[in-house]
Amino acid sequence: MTPQIDHIVLATRDLNGAAERFAAMGFTCAPRGVHGWGTSNHVIQFADESFIELLEVDRPHLIAEPDTAADPPEFSFGAFNRDFLERREGMSMLVLKGKDADADRARWKAAGLQPHAPFSFERAAKTPDGREGTVGFELAFATDPGMPEAAFFSCRHKAPELFFQPGYQAHANGAGGIAGVVMVADEPAETAEFFKGLMGAEAIARHADGHLSVHMGPHRLRVVTPRAFADLFPGERPAGQGPRFAALEVRAASLGVVENTLRAARIDLVHTSGGMFVPASAAFGLTLAFRDAK
């Protein structure tokens, strides 16, 4: 069974503003979380236990630089997002559900990838009813030199019963989970070997029109050309260079409820044959699409 999406990281220079904007779009944001290495977040959880992580580098002096000479090399979550934000805002990372970081790293290395050293951390958390506790995570990172604006890692939750809270998973817009992610690349086929190593050959499908799809349990990652992306999302021209994350697709119980929520908040909305989307200019660099969950 191929891993599914745990969450995505949306890097922003204005975490408070991003949380306010997503709340206006009808999402429930969990309280601010603080990392010891200079970043902070607000998490938007869904009932399927996928989530959006709104992330800001708010204490850059705490960021540790990556150690590429170490064996295995050490990745820096903070430095990657700091460098990403020096270029632009947007989705910087795609995260897989993990069970064992050491096993993930070994599997990726055996597949010919360049994985980094596993990393574990804890942070304080608060439940909707005010209880406080500690959540922990075990991560394994994989990157590709051909995709400098995209990072991938697996995440094992050490205290899922505390992290995932039904009170944070109810959203006024009816959102119920991540449906998929869309990447843009001039040559989608050139990403196939990396995704084969990351996910397994059985997860990869090449299509006659040149795009690539990666099946991730109930989720799907598509890699398309800029022209194909413009066909999917009229008017959108993803910022950045090389293969990069450009759109997030969210399942919603009712597109009518989504539309009413966005219209009431005076947030730009574009209808397509597949649903509707909020332009990247209104969603901190990420095209945010809504799909009917039915």
- Find the mean pLDDT for residues 58-64: 96
Return all residues near 24 (Cβ < 8 A) that are at least 6 apart: 265, 267
The backbone torsions φ and ψ at residue 45, rounded to the nearest 5 degrees and listed phi first, read -90, 150
pLDDT band at 218 (very low <50, low <70, confident <90, very high): very high
Residue 115 structure tokens: 């994985």
Between the two ends of the chain, the Cα-to-Cα distance in Å is 24
Query: What pLDDT was estimated at residue 2?
Result: 80
pTM for the whole thing? 0.96
Q: Is the pLDDT of residue 123 over 80?
A: yes
Would the pLDDT of 90 be above 70? yes
pLDDT band at 208 (very low <50, low <70, confident <90, very high): confident
CATH architecture for segment(s) 5-168: Roll (3.10)
Collapsing DSSP states into helix, strand and coil, what is residue 124? strand
The hierarchical CATH code for the domain 175-292 is 3.10.180.10
Q: According to the model, what pLDDT value does residue 186 have?
A: 97
Residue 231 CA neighbour count, 13 Å, CB half: 7
Average pLDDT of the residues of the chain = 95
Helix (H) or strand (E) holding 229: helix 226-232
The pLDDT-based confidence of 122 (bands split at 50, 70, 90) is confident
In which band, very low, low, confident or very high, does the pLDDT at 174 lie, cut at 50, 70 and 90?
very high
Percent of the chain with pLDDT strictly greater than 70: 100
Question: Does 5-168 match 175-292 in CATH topology?
Answer: yes
Task: Tell me: pLDDT of 285 over 80.
Answer: yes
Q: By percentage, how much of the chain surpasses pLDDT 90?
A: 90
**Amino acid identity of 142?**
A
Nearest by Cα to 94 from 49, 161, 142, 126: 142
Residue 181 corresponds to which amino acid?
V
Distance CA 80, CA 69 (A): 17
pLDDT at residue 291 is higher than 90: yes
CA distance 120 to 256: 41
Tell me which amino acid residue 92 is: S
User: Could you give the 3-state DSSP secondary structure of residue 73?
Assistant: coil
| Residues paired with 49 in a beta bridge | none
Rounded Cα distance, 12 and 57, in Å: 8
> Is the pLDDT at 1 greater than 70, yes or no?
no
At 102, give phi and psi (nearest 5°): -65, -40
* Domain extents in the chain: 5-168, 175-292
Both tokens of residue 111?
């597949």
Mapped onto helix, strand or coil, the DSSP state of residue 125 is: strand
Position 146 scores a pLDDT of 95
Average pLDDT over residues 138-148: 96
Q: What is the mean pLDDT of residues 212-231?
A: 96
What average pLDDT does this structure show over 137-146? 96
Buried b (16+ CB within 10 A) or exposed e, 145-176: eebbbbbbbbbbbeeeebbbbeebbebbbbbb
Query: Mean of the pLDDT values across residues 227-241?
Result: 96
Q: Which of 53-57, 130-134, 223-227 has the lowest mean pLDDT?
A: 130-134
